[in-house]
Amino acid sequence: MTTLANRYEFVLLFDVIKGNPNGDPDAGNLPRLDPETNHGLVTDVSLKRKIRNYVELARDGAPGLNIYVREGAILNEQHRKAYKDLRPDDPKVDKEAKLNPKGDGEARALRDFMCRNFFDVRTFGAVMSTGINCGQVRGPVQMTFAHSAEPIVPLEVSITRMAATSEKEKVEREAGDDGSDRIENRTMGRKHVVPYGLYRAHGFVSAKLAERTGFGEDDLELLFEALENMFEHDRSAARGEMASRRLIVFKHASSLGHAHAHKLFERVRVGRNVDGEFHEIDDRLNNFLPARKFSDYAIEIDRDGLPDGVEIIERL
Amino acid sequence: MAFGIRLKVAGPRACFTRPEMKVERVSYDVMTPSAARGILEAIHWKPAILWVIDAIHVLKPIRFQSIRRNEVGQKAPASKIKTAMNRQSLEGLALIVDEDRQQRASTVLTDVAYVIEAHFEITARAGPEDSEGKHLDIFNRRALRGQCFHQPCLGTREFAADFELLSPDGPLPAAIGETRDLGFMLWDIDHAAAGRPSLFFRAKLEEGVLRVPAPGSTEIRR
């Protein structure tokens, strides 16, 4: 695998239509909000989860592309049980393996093994309890919180279900009932949706850290592919319609880079599209209609005076 | 200071976790010297040099925000990795996140900007080719062009830091006019000593400026 020779930054723009891109466990699963500005938030870990899920789905455990931090039940766990039946001497291995690695060399071997086999360890890093230098792998890809372009107003949608969870609940409901058939067994729930939100996420790829984990050009290509397609495979009742809209990559000609990341990010500007013209979004109350579709926004990329050694690649 | 540098760093959020409140993370009010050192090392570092933080200027009011996230409560066990290596099979080597779910809140700083004043010292591991001027040049060149080894962050990696080099003798941006006692704050971790003990100092914000004691100072407690 060819090692990465260039530093990269990327801006991912994605949107949500009548869905909840990232629920806040502190606020009863309401879409995350920055309480000071009312801008919507999506955490870095939420996006990384989707990248992992995409790679797991699209590559299905191809050599070197396994996913360590997985979601849900895994069929392999069942296979392992069968494996254990076949190899009764396994418990011995388990027992012996309770020991920590004996030295730096062994810890390094364990880290290399994990990096070689698992895409997410190689990309995002992982903390492994090897006991030596905390056994940490720091991955080359770093992502930050995604922000919505404008403040969002989440809607609370009450919904009903025509069934009760338990017999007890059914009896209780019937007792308080006025006798009408329609109310019988009915429970109510809530959904929280963002009518429309365009979110912007920033990411960094360090070539120097990539050298250490063996993150190569193929992995970078897969990462971008995942960023482009991850929402296509993350459909659910809660998410509504989510889609990656733009992926703008800044490629530096060297591993250390040629420009400040924040100055490159400033080159991608999100404004409102008013009759085909770009309008700056600022903190004043503009009389824009609430945005409800991607075409309500205009994206501008400033290519003037790009620093030497930086290339803009529009992936999406 | 002959080899001093001044770096302005800023970001929408930051979390300099207090060691005593690390499960449900609570940030210190101000960037710790060790976090500042980490930022400088992300731009340029060699075993030949040691960054020493002299002062941290706080440029924006200290404000907090709470974020709760789903996290996993486990590290990758070395034993399982070893078993997989020995068996040449990856089966069973995975972390199932929804079976080991922890919801943790973080109280983080919002909208921060600092100026880090620092210098470096040459360590015992320096070779004959390591001169102070050389490393200072490398750092200044990188910081000026926006080059870095990896993108520096404000405490944790999801809070990336924007950085900007300030000229060593130019005027500094105004710090907040606030004087407060920040209590005992982490100075750094002693990576050389056994058990990696944490070192603390009594942090005081004076007119928005946090003076950091030099290594070996009596103000640093274990």
pLDDT tens column, B8-20:
999 999 999 999 9
Express as a percent the part of chain B with pLDDT over 70. 99
Same structural domain, A199 and A101: yes
pLDDT tens string A199-231: 999 999 999 999 999 999 999 999 999 999 999
Q: Domain containing A262: what range?
A: 8-152+191-314
Contact between chains at B82 and A101 (C-beta distance less than 8 A): yes
Same structural domain, A15 and A90: yes
Higher pLDDT, A24 or B131: A24
Type and span of the H or E element at B29:
none
Residue A169 falls inside a structural domain: yes
> Which of A44, A94, A111 is the best mutation test for B, with the most CBs of B within 10 A?
A44
CB atoms within 10 A of CB A114: 26
| pLDDT at residue A130, rounded to an integer | 57
User: Which residue(s) pair with A246 in the sheet?
Assistant: A13
Residue A1 falls inside a structural domain: no
Which residues of A fall within a CB distance of 8 Å from B63? Answer: 36
Which residues of B fall within a CB distance of 8 Å from A100? Answer: 78
Residue A72 falls inside a structural domain: yes
Express as a percent the part of chain A with pLDDT over 70. 83
Statement: residue B50 has pLDDT above 50: yes
Residue A167 falls inside a structural domain: yes
Contact between chains at A100 and B150 (C-beta distance less than 8 A): no
Chosen domain end from A164, A190, A216:
A190
Give Cα A299 to chain centroid, integer Å.
Answer: 22
Region A277-303 average pLDDT? 89
| pLDDT at residue A182, rounded to an integer | 54
Residue A144 falls inside a structural domain: yes
Closest approach of chain B CAs to the CA of A114, in angstroms? 7
Region A290-300 average pLDDT? 94
Closest by CA position to B56, among listed B21, B89, B92, B32: B32
Closest approach of chain A CAs to the CA of B143, in angstroms? 8
The pTM score is 0.84
**Confidence class of residue A101 from pLDDT cuts 50, 70 and 90?**
low
Same structural domain, A102 and A228: yes
pLDDT tens string A245-265: 999 999 999 999 999 999 999
Residue A160 falls inside a structural domain: yes
Region A87-98 average pLDDT? 41
Question: Which tokens belong to A79?
Answer: 């296979």
Region A129-150 average pLDDT? 81
Domain-wise residue ranges, chain B: 4-71+103-215
Number of folded domains that form chain A:
2
Query: What CATH architecture does domain B4-71+103-215 belong to?
Result: 2-Layer Sandwich (3.30)
Same structural domain, A164 and A83: no
Cross-chain CB nearest to B76 (options A49, A68, A263):
A68
Q: Are A128 and A110 in contact (CB under 8 A)?
A: yes
> Which of A98, A144, A252, A263 is the best mutation test for B, with the most CBs of B within 10 A?
A144
Interchain CB contact of B158 with A (< 8 Å): yes
Interchain CB contact of B46 with A (< 8 Å): no
- At position B221, the amino acid (one-letter code) is R
Higher pLDDT, A170 or A86: A170
**Confidence class of residue A131 from pLDDT cuts 50, 70 and 90?**
low
- Cα–Cα separations (whole angstroms), residue A200 to A144, B78, B132: 10, 37, 41
Higher pLDDT, A314 or A179: A314
Same structural domain, A124 and A67: yes
Statement: residue A180 has pLDDT above 60: no
Closest approach of chain B CAs to the CA of A106, in angstroms? 9
| pLDDT at residue A229, rounded to an integer | 95
Which residues of A fall within a CB distance of 8 Å from B157? Answer: 142
Same structural domain, A172 and A80: no
Statement: residue B89 has pLDDT above 90: no
Closest approach of chain B CAs to the CA of A145, in angstroms? 7
| pLDDT at residue A103, rounded to an integer | 67
- For residue A161, the 8-state DSSP code is E
ipTM higher than the 0.85 cut: no
Statement: residue B46 has pLDDT above 60: yes
Closest approach of chain B CAs to the CA of A141, in angstroms? 9
Statement: residue A309 has pLDDT above 50: yes
**Chain B, window 97-156: residues with a beta carbon less than 8 angstroms from a chain A beta carbon:** 97-98, 103, 105, 110, 142, 145-151, 153
Residues 6+ apart with CB under 8 A from B74: B95, B100
Which residues of A fall within a CB distance of 8 Å from B91? Answer: 76, 79-80, 83
Cross-chain CB nearest to B160 (options A98, A101, A142):
A142
Higher pLDDT, A15 or A189: A15
- Could you write out the DSSP letters of every residue in B161-206? -EEEEEPTTSPPPPPP---EEEEEEEEEE-SSSTT--EEEEEEEEE
Which residues of B fall within a CB distance of 8 Å from A140? Answer: 150
Statement: residue A86 has pLDDT above 50: no
Range of lowest pLDDT (A91-100, A138-147, A255-264): A91-100
Same structural domain, A46 and A123: yes
Residue A3 falls inside a structural domain: no
Beta strand extents in B59-166 (DSSP E only)? 64-72, 76-77, 95-96, 101-122, 162-166
| pLDDT at residue B86, rounded to an integer | 83
Which residues of A fall within a CB distance of 8 Å from B24? Answer: none
Contact between chains at A257 and B146 (C-beta distance less than 8 A): yes
Type and span of the H or E element at A221:
helix A217-229
Same structural domain, A23 and A88: yes
| pLDDT at residue A43, rounded to an integer | 96
Statement: residue A14 has pLDDT above 80: yes
Same structural domain, A76 and A183: no
Contact between chains at A70 and B95 (C-beta distance less than 8 A): yes
Cross-chain CB nearest to B83 (options A97, A109, A261):
A97
Higher pLDDT, A225 or A74: A225
Statement: residue B148 has pLDDT above 60: yes
Distance in angstroms between the alpha carbons of the first and the last residue of chain B: 28
| pLDDT at residue A206, rounded to an integer | 95
Distance (Å, whole) CA A109 – CA B114: 40
Closest by CA position to A154, among listed A196, A193, A197: A193
Same structural domain, A27 and A16: yes
Range of lowest pLDDT (A178-182, A209-213, B20-24, B144-148): A178-182
Q: Are A232 and A298 in contact (CB under 8 A)?
A: no
Strands A125-129 and B76-77 turn out to be parallel
- Cα–Cα separations (whole angstroms), residue B133 to A268, B43, B44, B121: 37, 16, 14, 11
- Max intra-chain CA distance, chain A: 77
Higher pLDDT, B175 or A284: B175
- Cα–Cα separations (whole angstroms), residue A76 to A73, A82, A126, B84: 9, 10, 21, 13
